[in-house]
Amino acid sequence: MKPIVEYRDYRQYMRDFYEERKRSSYFTWREFASLSGFVSPTYLKLVCDGKTRLSKPGIAKVARAMGLEGFDYTYFALLVKFGNAKSDDERESALQELEREARMNRIRIVDADAIRYYESPMYPIVRELAPLMPAATLGEMASKIKSSVTAAEIREVLQFLVRADLLRKREDGSYEQTQKAVKGSKETIPLAIRSMNKKMAELAVGSIARDPADERHFSSVTMGLDAPTYERIAREADAFRKKIVAIANECQKIDRVYQMNLQVFPLTDKVGASGAKKGGSV
């Protein structure tokens, strides 16, 4: 069975425990439930099938039945908190707790780099900025970022980016980007990206008030769509984003870091089809 730090789904961990015990001895869901102190012989199977959630009092019972102690017990409890979270904010908080707990115990967890990278816009910003300022001090680098950030925070960000192999430090002290991509599991990456998108959108609001019009480009359109048309527009937006990346990669004299947000989102709930055809309004 894999170490618990390789899991992001507490239900999968419980199921793997059950399957391993079943392979080595006669072990049933009834016995697993009894070992955990539950009256219902099917409760844990229902939990693992995603039909109900493991209760807070049940965490200690199941952890004890699986022989979890110390860090493993704490990690399992946080996995349950993550899996039972009802909002993205709760899930993000649980993920950050998982990483902090692992760091305190000097244990590296799967997806740790992805979780950390998407915690703050400073990580992608500094990853782009550092190679542009090879002789800059930490304070000089901080002064170029429009958001409030200190030299100490820049140092911490750079140390993480190098440790995660997202930046490489040359012998002369300058930085260059590596080709490594930020990767994680299907449970963490969508959540992490949603969190980053929200934070980048907040920076966009600040840019409207702060930056002159000739240094930013904002446009929008409000339109009525059906599902197939939305999907077509989403595909076009994705193709456009890839084209923009290709154009950016051709740039030879980079002198600042930009952020481009592509957003298509619903402003209303669905209504009955009227068959009306109309264009968008700017």
Give the CA count within 13 Å in the CB-facing half-sphere of 116.
20
Give the lowest-confidence range in 151-160, 170-179, 220-229, 265-274. Answer: 265-274
Q: Give the mean model confidence (pLDDT) for residues 221-244.
A: 92
Query: Which of 167, 183, 212 is at the close of a domain?
Result: 212
> Same domain for 61 and 142?
no
The residue type found at 255 is D
- Give domain status of residue 85, yes or no: yes
Is pLDDT at 183 greater than 90 in this prediction?
A: no
Element (H, E) at 167: strand 167-169
> Same domain for 75 and 163?
no
CATH number at residue 79: 1.10.260
- Give domain status of residue 235, yes or no: no
Is pLDDT at 105 greater than 80 in this prediction?
A: no
Say whether 19 sits in a helix, a strand or coil: helix
> Same domain for 135 and 97?
no
Residue 191's pLDDT is 63
> Same domain for 59 and 19?
yes
The percent of the chain in helix, strand and coil, each rounded to the nearest 5, is: 55, 5, 40
Element (H, E) at 20: helix 10-24
Helices (H) and strands (E) in the chain, counts: 12, 2
Q: Which of 108, 122, 81, 103 is nearest to 3 (CA)?
A: 108
CATH number at residue 181: 1.10.10
Say whether 177 sits in a helix, a strand or coil: strand
> Same domain for 83 and 98?
yes
Domain that holds residue 14: 4-106
> Same domain for 80 and 33?
yes
- Give domain status of residue 125, yes or no: yes
Number of residues written out for the chain: 282
- Give domain status of residue 236, yes or no: no
Cβ–Cβ < 8 Å for 221, 280 = yes
Query: Which of 106, 135, 160 is at the close of a domain?
Result: 106
63-101: b (≥16 Cβ within 10 Å) or e: bebbebeebbbbbbbbbbbbbbbeeeeebbebbebbbeb
> Same domain for 55 and 133?
no
- Give domain status of residue 80, yes or no: yes
> Same domain for 199 and 123?
yes
| Residue 145 exposed, middle or buried by CB count within 10 Å (0-12, 13-18, 19+) | middle
Say whether 208 sits in a helix, a strand or coil: helix
- Give domain status of residue 58, yes or no: yes
- Give domain status of residue 10, yes or no: yes
> Same domain for 92 and 126?
no
Residue 86's pLDDT is 87
Residues 6+ positions from 13 with CB-CB distance below 8 Å: 4, 7, 76, 79
Give the DSSP letter of residue 105.
T
Q: Give the model's confidence band at 269: pLDDT under 50 very low, under 70 low, under 90 confident, else very high.
A: confident
Residue 165's pLDDT is 86
Cβ of 141: how many Cβ atoms within 10 Å?
Answer: 20
Residue 106's pLDDT is 65
Residues 6+ positions from 82 with CB-CB distance below 8 Å: 8, 10, 91, 94, 95, 98, 187
> Same domain for 72 and 131?
no
- Give domain status of residue 253, yes or no: no
Q: How many domains does the chain have?
A: 2
Whole-model pTM? 0.57
Is pLDDT at 282 greater than 70 in this prediction?
A: no
Query: Which of 161, 186, 212 is at the close of a domain?
Result: 212
